[in-house]
Structure 1
Amino acid sequence: MSEQDENYQLAKERVEKKMGFAIHAGVYVLVNAGLITLNLTRSPDNYWFIWPLGGWGIGLVFHAFKVFGPGGSTSLKEKMIQKEQARLKQ
C-alpha cells in the first residue's frame, strides 16, 4: 500500500469518526429535547429528564474526547505502528 493510500485511509477514518460524533450529538439533542418537552408537559413538578440528559451527556463527552481530544483521532495502536515504522526505516 502506498503512502498516498495510507493517508487516504487515515483521513477517511478520521472523517468517519467526526461524522459519527456529529450524528451522536444530533440524536442527543433531538431525543433530549423531546424528553424535556414530555417531562415539562406531563409532570412539570418532577424533573426526571435530568437523569437521561446527564447520563447520556457523560457518554457524549467521552465520545468527544475520544474524537477531538489529545491524540483523539490517532489511537494508541496507530501511534505504536507509526513508531515501529519509523524504527524500521532506520
Structure 2
Amino acid sequence: MEIIMETNQFDLKKYENAKKRVKELKGFYSHLASYILIISFLCFINFRFSPEHIWFYWPMLGWGIGLFFHAVGVFNIIPFFGKDWEDKKITEIMEKEKQTKWE
C-alpha cells in the first residue's frame, strides 16, 4: 500500500511538473506571437507614415532583449538561468542547512 501511495505521489509530481512546463511554453509562444504581430504593425506604421525616419528597430530591440531572456528561461539555453540550476541550488542549500543543523 505504501509503494502505491509513493508511486501516486511521484506521478502527481510528474504531472504537476509537466503542467507547469506546458504553461511556461504557452507563455513563451504567446509572447513570441505578440512580438511578431506588434513589431510587424510598428514596421508598417513606420514605413507608411515616416519612411524618412526609421524608428521601429528601437522597440524591436528592447522587446527582443526581453523575449531573448524569456527564451533563455524557458528553454534553458544558459544553464545558470534555467530551472535545473535553480533546483540543484535549492537542494544544495537545503543539504548544507541540514548538515549545519546536525552538527
Same fold (TM over 0.5): yes
Q: Deviations over 1:24-75 (max 9, x none)?
A: 0000000000000000000001111000000000000000000002373446
Relative contact order, higher structure (CA 8 A, sep 6+): 1
* 2:82 is equivalent to residue 72 of structure 1: yes
Figure out how many residues of one structure are paired with residues of the other and give that number: 85
1:3-22 pair list within 5 angstroms: 3-22=10-29
- The question of whether the paired residues in 2 share the 8 Å contact of 1:17 and 1:67 is answered with yes
Calculate percent identity across the aligned residue pairs.
38
- Structure with more of its chain in helix, by fraction: 2
- The question of whether the paired residues in 2 share the 8 Å contact of 1:14 and 1:73 is answered with no
TM-score (structure 2 length as normaliser): 0.72
Gaps in structure 1 of 5+ consecutive residues:
none
**Which of the residues 22, 25, 42 maps onto 1:35?**
42
**What root-mean-square deviation, in Å, do the aligned CA atoms of Structure 1 and Structure 2 show?**
2.4
Gaps in structure 2 of 5+ consecutive residues:
1-7, 99-103
CA distance in 2 between counterparts of 1:7 and 1:66 reads 20
